[in-house]
Structure 1
């Protein structure tokens, strides 16, 4: 008999993927340059040349077993050493290679990290707006995911609701900063208070509450934003990272878990992740990608276009009377729709070939997400179409 749980998931299609597929099909009709597709968060800037050069060097000079043989179950030593060194130099940490576990992107990192610090039946809290895939990551580990409602005025943590929901069954808190879908980065003040709450409640409940920090957008931070390194604030933090955005390598599925050396059980967590891999069939990211990224892990692609695009969109939204919190990073922005239903708003926008994602699935009904990882020239043309849409449908002008 087939697994009914996974069968039932087939009917829950991703709204983002459906909209992206619609935009592709529409592009075949009218030319994709005329479809203003803000649906999918696929990096739009070139991979650093240094990565390409290193891949070529490896293929031309290294023997095939070094390139393509099995890596140790806990990852390539050079990759782990260089990641630890980079984090220490950039953020004043004291990681060793023994605190780094290579994963297939941030998704693999979260899946390993949450299993390492919980047992089936435990509860995990996260904060709206949140990435919808947290659902299967957490429930797939036999855990309960509870979502703290958003503070739509800032999209910082809603501490009143958080304190209401925090209880002795919560073993981990999962955050995402800078945040998909809002683009907001948690501030120093927010992270300090979060650390204080987790410290006090861990003592009250008699067990450590771990903090899982999902941070694939860590390097996409805009001028003036307060976006500190999360693990500096709370010792029991596991950082979950991906190079998908910083190096524009989403298809290579390469990331890591970084265990704060001051974390309870730090000496066990990476070896435990190796055992978790045995049960999930993970068994390390590709060997050659670990080797190549090891040499460029402190670099980024040219990420400046995202800030340029954000400013164009933010200024236009404000001009048109939208309620919107200015992003501190990522390549997302999440305005409030011009009517109660963001789903209806996005349907109407489609008539103007503007492809927006309703944020209901992100835990923020009434808002919509725009992923602006597209060419700036297209963003500028899209703003003209947005003005036309808002004027004709909602009778609003600048």
Structure 2
């Protein structure tokens, strides 16, 4: 007998992936350049030349066993040391290599982090709007993901509902800032209030409540926006990072866990990750990619195009009368649809070759996401289609 749990998941495929697949098929019919595909968050700017050079140099100059063999289960020590040093230099932390675990992207990091601090039946809280894949990341560990309703005024934390839901069953709180899908960056005030409540509840319940911080968009921050490093605010923080967005290398599947040195059992948590890997198959990310990333820790792709695209879309959306909170980072924007059912709204948009993602799976019915990681020229060409859509269907 096959596993019913995973068979049942076949009926609940990712809406984002389904829309991306539709866009690809439509592109074959009319040319993909004529499909305004805002579905998938796939970086659209080139990988830094320095990363490419690092890969080439490693291939040409290093012992093949070093770059193609298994890495140690906790990651290559020199890479871990370099990551720790870079975080200390940038954010004033005190990491050592003993606080870093190399992972297969942020997904691998989150899979490990949840298993480190929960057992089956424990609860993990997250805040809408949230990345839909949090459900399989958490639920398939045996823990239960509970979603705090959104604060739609600013997409900061809904503290009233959070405090009601923060029971003694909650062992971890999962946050994502800068946020997918809203593009909102949690303010320092939000993070400090969150940390205060979690400290008080940890003391009241007699157990640690861990903060799992999902940070793949940490480097995509727009002008004038402060992005507070979460571990500076709360000791029991496990940071989950990916180089997919900052270096435009999502296919390389490389990231890390960084456990705050002030966290309870910090070094033990890292060592536990090596054991968790044995069970979930996320062990030993690519050796050559680990070594290459270590050479570009202070570099990013040219990320400014995302802010350019955001401003173009934000101004157009506002001019068309759509309510929208201006993103502070990422390459997502999350406007309110012009009718109650965002699924119907997005279905109508397809008639104008606009591929938009309804907000229902993000925990925010009535909203929709646009992933504007595409050439600015194409964003500009999409604006007349957006205008035609709104004026034809809703004027």
Give the TM-score, by structure 2 length. 0.99
- What does 1:239-318 correspond to in 2, within 5 Å? 239-318=239-318
SS at match of 1:295: coil
SS at match of 2:125: strand
Q: What per-residue deviation string (whole Å, max 9, x for no partner) do you get for residues 9-63 of structure 1?
A: 1111111111111111111111111110000000000000000000010000111
Following superposition, the deviation at residue 157 of structure 1 comes to 0.3
Following superposition, the deviation at residue 388 of structure 1 comes to 1.1
- Root mean square deviation of aligned Cα: 0.6
Distance in structure 2 (CA, Å) of the matches to 1:223 and 1:76: 35
Following superposition, the deviation at residue 68 of structure 1 comes to 1.0
Residue 217 of structure 1 corresponds to which residue in structure 2?
217
Distance in structure 2 (CA, Å) of the matches to 1:79 and 1:363: 37
Residue 191 of structure 2 corresponds to which residue in structure 1?
191
Distance in structure 2 (CA, Å) of the matches to 1:22 and 1:228: 38
Following superposition, the deviation at residue 359 of structure 1 comes to 0.7
What is the total number of aligned residue pairs between the two structures? Answer: 395
Matched, 1:142 2:142: yes
Residue 387 of structure 2 corresponds to which residue in structure 1?
387
Following superposition, the deviation at residue 274 of structure 1 comes to 0.4
Distance in structure 2 (CA, Å) of the matches to 1:287 and 1:140: 28
Residue 111 of structure 1 corresponds to which residue in structure 2?
111
Residue 78 of structure 1 corresponds to which residue in structure 2?
78
Following superposition, the deviation at residue 226 of structure 1 comes to 2.4
Matched, 1:88 2:81: no
Residue 57 of structure 1 corresponds to which residue in structure 2?
57
Q: What per-residue deviation string (whole Å, max 9, x for no partner) do you get for residues 369-394 of structure 1?
A: 00000010110111111111111111
Following superposition, the deviation at residue 225 of structure 1 comes to 1.3
Residue 231 of structure 1 corresponds to which residue in structure 2?
231
Distance in structure 2 (CA, Å) of the matches to 1:282 and 1:315: 42
Distance in structure 2 (CA, Å) of the matches to 1:298 and 1:107: 22
Following superposition, the deviation at residue 120 of structure 1 comes to 1.2
Matched, 1:205 2:205: yes
Distance in structure 2 (CA, Å) of the matches to 1:73 and 1:26: 43
Residue 330 of structure 1 corresponds to which residue in structure 2?
330
The list of structure 1 runs, each at least 4 consecutive aligned residues, that deviate by more than 2 angstroms after superposition, is none
Following superposition, the deviation at residue 71 of structure 1 comes to 1.2
Following superposition, the deviation at residue 173 of structure 1 comes to 0.2
Comparing 37-46 and 66-75, the one that deviates more: 66-75
Distance in structure 2 (CA, Å) of the matches to 1:16 and 1:149: 21
Residue 128 of structure 1 corresponds to which residue in structure 2?
128
Distance in structure 2 (CA, Å) of the matches to 1:306 and 1:356: 17
SS at match of 1:351: helix
Q: What per-residue deviation string (whole Å, max 9, x for no partner) do you get for residues 221-252 of structure 1?
A: 00111221111100000000000000000000
Distance in structure 1 (CA, Å) of the matches to 2:354 and 2:277: 41
Distance in structure 2 (CA, Å) of the matches to 1:322 and 1:224: 24
Residue 20 of structure 1 corresponds to which residue in structure 2?
20
- Which structure 2 residue ranges, 5 or more long, are not aligned? none
SS at match of 1:274: helix
